[in-house]
A and B are shown apart, each in its own frame.
Chain A
């Protein structure tokens, strides 16, 4: 018997309760669970279990913070909302999850990274081989292309990311991809570098998730092959033992459980290049299908979020309000962040905190006296160093990518 209002300890729960819990994670009986009712046999039966060699969702979610929101159980996706992102560096338990397939359970001692294609010397590297190369640690942003998708109307199909949450800025430890490519010797005809991982689908007809990036981004110092996240080995859900990190670009460019690097003379041709992660070449009428000439989704446009105060928090008039948040802009830098406390009529500049690593989000804050009674809407709007400003209405697109609208948080101000 499970009850959504009562914490469940999976390790201690009897086997049958764990099965029921798995069924719930599969999203098949949440209604029954919310009512505290026993799961109907029919619904529990329909929950497919994962095949051997995968990490169960329950083990993954046990590592996540309270307030982590599961958006889908198959494939597993989830994130924390903005108010749980009030950190310079995203801790592992708050990093978003976006699987395309299942979570593989890999043995680091047997893991091999193969470098092939347009190289002078194909390589097969163990983790130990990689760790002998010059490594470094840096904080970099990753954000799912569909982050914010649920704010688009009409709804676009795909993971229903909230306006904020499908992103994070952990500290990564590893080597520059360029270090490995230089070791292999890239041929002059090379144009793109494709990544592939060890994750697999529910049936063998499911193709691998393979994405490629242009050579210019591949050779950049901060495009990395990493084994460490926030000072420890990568968690299984985030790619243990090895993943790529293509900072500032759509998250799908960064492949978890990395085992293959293929140097190509053109962008990789495959379903995850040609049918996903593409945006129209110009704004289209909302609800229409993709026009010809769609372009690959690469760097994120400028975006920001308010991480404090908490939504719907109560304050007394006459005091000080501290507003904090983060801003980021794909390959660009943040120039300014402006806040509005009057529904967007007037704006004032927030204080940008010291610049951290190149692809880390920029933290900002502003202290303001609270003197208006009632509901106060706080808006945040960032501008990057190329003059791009967050739009009031992000352009609708069929796959729901790149939502970078203005984030808002409402608080209640009461008489002192």
Chain B
């Protein structure tokens, strides 16, 4: 590769970064569908890109160690979730590749994901469930606590939709909710209407 000159550095660096990502990432950014893949994606993507999972297949013993370290590093996961994620990783990201049975389960899971209702797809895709559950405070508040807080506030839905898109901080503590700038208004409304209906 030869150096070019005279074009603004910023442009070139950004183009180079894009090109590098084009080579390095591609299919590494989504986990293979399978039992636990959505949970795994939601939890891992809170802090790091999925390439850190997909790049280096590991033995079960190594994945158990990775999970232990991720808990140390602050990943918000319950013991049940840790078990599901460890099983998923050891099944689909081991050095021998997934077994025939695991591949069949993967095809089923892919079909189920594709057939899921739009709301479920949205929640999974946007890592909402990495930090929220319906009934328990995790990193962020439980969805049903959010619903209870705004039950008598008809203007709440519009404000919350904005918050889902722009991020927020302060209502439920100082933990910031990251923005989701790519979310459409319609999808944000779909999510918020569902959250406000939780009891």
- Contacts from A to B (Cβ < 8 Å): 2, 4-11, 19, 21-31, 33-34, 41-52, 58, 61-75, 78, 83-84, 93, 154-158, 160, 201-207, 271, 275-276, 287-290, 310-311, 398
A31–B51 CA distance with the chains assembled, in angstroms: 13
**A246–B51 Cα gap in the complex (Å)?**
30
A33 to B29, CA, bound (A): 13
> Judging by beta carbons under 8 Å apart, are B9 and A7 in contact?
no
Quote the shortest CB–CB distance from A147 to chain B (angstroms).
16
**Nearest B residue (CB) for A275:** B69
Residues of B within 8 A of A160 (CB): 24, 51, 55
Asked whether B149 is an interface residue with its Cβ less than 8 Å from the other chain, the reply is no
Q: Flag if A45 contacts B180 (CB, 8 Å).
A: yes
**B100 CB-CB contact with A under 8 Å:** no
Do A62 and B139 form a contact, CB below 8 Å, given A33-B21, A49-B179, A157-B52? no
Give CA–CA (A130, B38) in the complex, Å: 49
C-alpha gap A202/B76 in the complex (Å): 11
Tell whether, in the assembled complex, residue A27 and residue B49 are in contact, meaning their CB atoms are under 8 Å apart. yes
User: Which of B11-19, B79-87, B150-158 binds A?
Assistant: B11-19
Contact pick for B18, options A4, A28, A93, CB 8 Å: A4
Band of interface residues on B: 35 or more
- B 20-55 to A, binary, CB cutoff 8 A, 1 in contact else 0: 111111111100000000000000011111111001
Top 9 A-B pairs ranked by shortest CB distance?
A: A66-B12, A34-B22, A7-B11, A205-B74, A206-B74, A44-B182, A155-B56, A271-B72, A45-B182
Decide if A8 touches B11 in the complex (CB within 8 Å). Answer: yes
Question: Are B21 and A73 in contact, CB atoms less than 8 angstroms apart?
Answer: yes
Residues of chain B lying within 8 A (CB to CB) of residue A58: 14
Interface 0/1 of B102-131, CB less than 8 Å to A: 000000000000000000000001110001
Shortest Cβ distance from residue A13 to the other chain B in the assembled complex, whole angstroms: 10
**What is the bound-complex CA distance between A12 and B46, given in angstroms?**
30
B3–A72 CB distance below 8 A: no
- Bound-state Cα–Cα, A271 to B19, Å: 34
| A72 with B51, Cβ < 8 A, contacts A27-B29, A271-B72 known | yes
Residues of A within 8 A of B125 (CB): 42, 45-46
- Distance (Å) between the CB of A149 and the closest chain B CB? 9
- Supply 19 A–B pairs (Cβ within 8 Å), ascending by A: A4-B15, A7-B7, A9-B10, A10-B14, A23-B182, A28-B29, A30-B26, A46-B125, A50-B178, A58-B14, A63-B13, A66-B15, A67-B3, A157-B52, A160-B51, A201-B73, A275-B69, A275-B72, A289-B65
Min C-beta distance of A265 to chain B, whole Å: 23
Residues of B within 8 A of A43 (CB): 29
A205 touches which one: B25, B27, B139 (CB < 8 A)? B139
Given A45-B126, A49-B178, A155-B55, verify A207-B2 contact (CB < 8 Å).
no
Given contacts A66-B9, A71-B20, A275-B68, 13 further A-B contacts (CB under 8 A): A6-B15, A7-B7, A8-B11, A22-B181, A27-B25, A27-B50, A27-B51, A46-B126, A61-B17, A70-B21, A72-B51, A74-B49, A157-B58
B8 contacts A by Cβ under 8 Å: yes
Contact A52 B182 (CB under 8 A): no
Chain B residue at minimum C-beta to C-beta distance from A400: B56
From the candidates B21, B62, B75, B131, name the one contacting A24 in the complex (CB within 8 A): B21
Nearest-neighbour CB distance to chain A for B123, whole angstroms, equals 11
Given contacts A31-B27, A66-B9, contact A8 B181 (CB under 8 A): no
Chain B residues with CB below 8 A from A158, complex form = 52, 56
- A271–B3 contact, CB under 8 A? no
Instruction: Tell me, yes or no, whether B183 is within 8 Å of chain A by CB.
Output: yes
Q: Are B15 and A7 in contact (CB under 8 A)?
A: yes
> Per a CB cutoff under 8 Å, which of B27, B48, B62 touches A72?
B48
> B55 and A66: CB pair below 8 A?
no
Whole-angstrom distance between the Cβ of B43 and the nearest chain A Cβ: 11
Q: Using a CB-CB cutoff of 8 Å, which residues 59-97 of chain B contact chain A?
A: 59, 61-62, 65-66, 68-69, 72-76, 95
Min Cβ gap A211→B in Å is: 14
B47 touches A30 (CB 8 A): no
Q: In the docked arrangement, what's the CA distance between A6 and B16, Å? A: 10
Question: Are B20's CB and A69's CB within 8 A?
Answer: yes
Determine whether B99 belongs to the interface, using a CB cutoff of 8 Å to chain A. no
Contact indicator B10/A70 (Cβ below 8 Å): no
The verdict on B1 contacting chain A, using a C-beta distance below 8 Å, is yes
Once A4-B15, A276-B69 are accepted as A-B contacts, the answer to whether A52 and B49 lie under 8 Å apart by CB is no
B29 touching A75, Cβ below 8 Å: no
Chain A residue nearest to B64 in the complex (CB) = A289
Of the candidates A31, A63, A157, the one whose C-beta lies within 8 Å of that of B66 is A157
Q: Would you call B184 an interface residue if the criterion is a C-beta within 8 Å of the partner chain's C-beta atoms? A: yes
Query: Are A30's CB and B29's CB within 8 A?
Result: yes
List chain A residues, Cβ under 8 A from B185. none
- Cα separation A289 to B182 with both chains bound (whole Å): 40
Please, which residues of chain B bring their CB within 8 A of the CB of A33?
Answer: 18, 21-22
Does B190 sit at the interface, judged by CB under 8 A? no
Residues of A within 8 A of B26 (CB): 30-31, 34
A4-B18, A30-B22, A74-B49 known; A83+B13 contact, CB < 8 A: no
When C-beta atoms are compared, the residue in chain A nearest to B69 turns out to be A275
User: CB-nearest residue of chain A relative to B130?
Assistant: A203
Q: Which of the listed residues B9, B49, B182 has the most CB atoms from chain A within 10 Å of its own CB?
A: B182
- B169 interface residue per 8 A CB criterion: yes
* Bound CA–CA A19/B14 (angstroms): 14
Confirm or deny: B57 has a beta carbon within 8 angstroms of a beta carbon on chain A.
yes
The chain A residue with its CB closest to the CB of B15 is: A7
CB-CB under 8 A from B197, the residues of chain A are: none
Q: Which residue of A70, A75, A157 is within 8 Å of B55 (Cβ)?
A: A157
Known: A45-B182, A68-B17, A204-B139. A31 touches B22 (CB 8 A): yes
